[in-house]
Amino acid sequence: MSKGTKVPGYMQGKGSRNPRGIIGDREIRYKCSLQNTILDVLRGRPGWQEVPGQNNIQPNVNQANPKQAGQQSTGQQQANTGKSGSGSTTQGTTSGYKGSDGDWDFYWCDREWLAQNYDTMFLYEHQKILHFRNHYELTRKNLMVKNLKRLKKQTERELGKAEGQSFEFFPTTYELPSEYHIFVEEFKKNPGIIWIMKPAARAQGRGIFLFRRLKDITDWKKGEYQPLSDPNREVPETYVVQRYIENPYLIGGRKFDVRVYVLVVSYNPLKVWLYRSGFARFSNTRFSLDSIEDTYVHLTNVAIQKNAPDYDPDKGCKWSTQQLRKYLSAKHGVEAVKKAFKGIDNIIIKSLQSVQKIIINDKHCFEMYGYDVLFDSDLKPWLIEINASPSLTASGKEDYDLKFGLLNDLLNVLDLENRLTGKEKRVGGWDLLWEDGPILADDGNMECAPNGTTASIPNSFLGCHNERKRQLRELYTAAQSIKKS
């Protein structure tokens, strides 16, 4: 194979090299399909240069205060990246770059672009791109449950029923219309309980409704699924129907779920990072099972709640994960909360393992998932859904700061600048949770652990203190010393 020959990314061997030179010797060239916090982060990183061209930006009119956002990103770049120097990017190009649409090192693309281009795309050794080819195996609601059910059955068959109990974190679920008759049988066995209908491939709470009576679902079925004689009629949209969790944990009488950020940089071997910060999203109205048609009571999506009549955009309906963990620890004790958050770790790993052999692993790809988890009144965590493109649009300053740090640290983990040793367990706010097996915390990293803990604990610190800027400075100083020696 000649030096300049390209091969498909997923077929590329370790022997291939970037004919344009090592990234560390020049600026890093990026493309971005979105215009929100991620674009601010990319533009604010020293030594990164935006590549002009088609499909570079898809405007997002929902970005909160973009002028302020741009000012914040510029002011934060040195501390966030751990680099010295001004915020301006390196000027000029390296020999071999012609400014064409494919001359990039990093591409934050949208899912639609990837679906249209991945199979005909060729990647150099160094290039990184958002999303694995078939990411939807985990993020489409019906496929997520299908894969979890399969791994659960396999686990019970190989390790016994007891081990299968570790998968009891998603509600009873059926796919419609394919499993409609099976669902009806289950419905009749449990009269009076509440079920929730969700479109399998939609987001932001669109198309979701609750029901108690079979008549509600049959009326909906006639309107949505009844086949017509017209052969040009579109295939009916796939839905999932789940048993509704009727006893959610309430704070101030309101329901909430927790957004957890997870970064996967490889599926083979499985390598997973967990971000310390996230947020709890609250409903705007007090919880009640007497009004199941009221979406402001039962759906916590910001896209839904911001339309509530008494919604306050300045206060929003969010707590930081740190606030939530402190509240729960004060009320239930550190050990109970530690167990609850350990359950979230289990959800993350089991769900990723359920698709580990299905996802097309490509060393050029990475994925940042947004997990939505709900606690019930017993502090048991339930998996609600997994998002392949969690919203990066900020709803306020605190939300912007969270997402700016989250994304900046993601780039630090990917380390296109080649400044890390590759053995780090923590980079900024990201903690290495799994690398072909569980990762244990270092002795000096026992945050959120009960007093007196000396035994090794998992390297998981969701909701713990996130002093990311200080940690980055110390990390890069140590890494530089190791590389020099």
Does residue 3 carry a pLDDT above 60? no
Q: What is the pLDDT of residue 348?
A: 98
Contact 450, 59 (CB under 8 A): no
What burial class does residue 261 get, using C-beta atoms within 10 Å of its C-beta: 0-12 exposed, 13-18 middle, 19+ buried? buried
The better pLDDT of the pair 426, 57 is held by: 426
The better pLDDT of the pair 394, 72 is held by: 394
- Taking only the tens place, the pLDDT of each residue in 7-48 is 333 333 433 334 444 565 679 999 999 889 999 999 999 999
Name the token pair of 470.
């200080």
Distances in Å between the Cα of 209 and the Cα atoms of 221, 236, 378 are 13, 17, 25
Q: The tokens 């971000």 sit on which residue?
A: 275
Does residue 355 carry a pLDDT above 90? yes
- Taking only the tens place, the pLDDT of each residue in 146-166 is 999 999 999 999 999 999 999
Cis peptide before 438 (omega within 30 of 0): no
- Torsion from C-alpha of 360, 364, 367, 368, nearest 10 degrees: 170
Determine the Cα–Cα distance for residues 436 and 397; give it in Å rounded to an integer.
37
* Across 187-211, average pLDDT: 83
Q: How many CB atoms lie within 10 A of CB 283?
A: 25
Give 468's pLDDT tier (boundaries 50, 70, 90): very high
Q: Which residues contact 86 (CB under 8 A, 6 or more apart)?
A: 46
Q: The tokens 């979406």 sit on which residue?
A: 295
Q: How many CB atoms lie within 10 A of CB 148?
A: 22
Neighbouring C-alpha atoms within 13 Å toward the C-beta of 341:
32
Q: What is the pLDDT of residue 25?
A: 67
Q: Which residues contact 286 (CB under 8 A, 6 or more apart)?
A: 252, 253, 254, 297
Rounded to 5 degrees, what are φ and ψ at 175?
-100, 135
Does residue 315 carry a pLDDT above 70? no
Give 53's pLDDT tier (boundaries 50, 70, 90): low
Q: What is the DSSP letter of 268?
A: T
Pair type for strands 239-243 and 209-211:
unpaired
- Taking only the tens place, the pLDDT of each residue in 288-305 is 888 887 776 677 666 665
Q: What is the pTM of this model?
A: 0.83
From the list 258, 421, 410, the residue with the least C-alpha distance to 328 is 258
Name the token pair of 464.
């713990």
SS3 214: helix
Name the token pair of 377.
């009144």
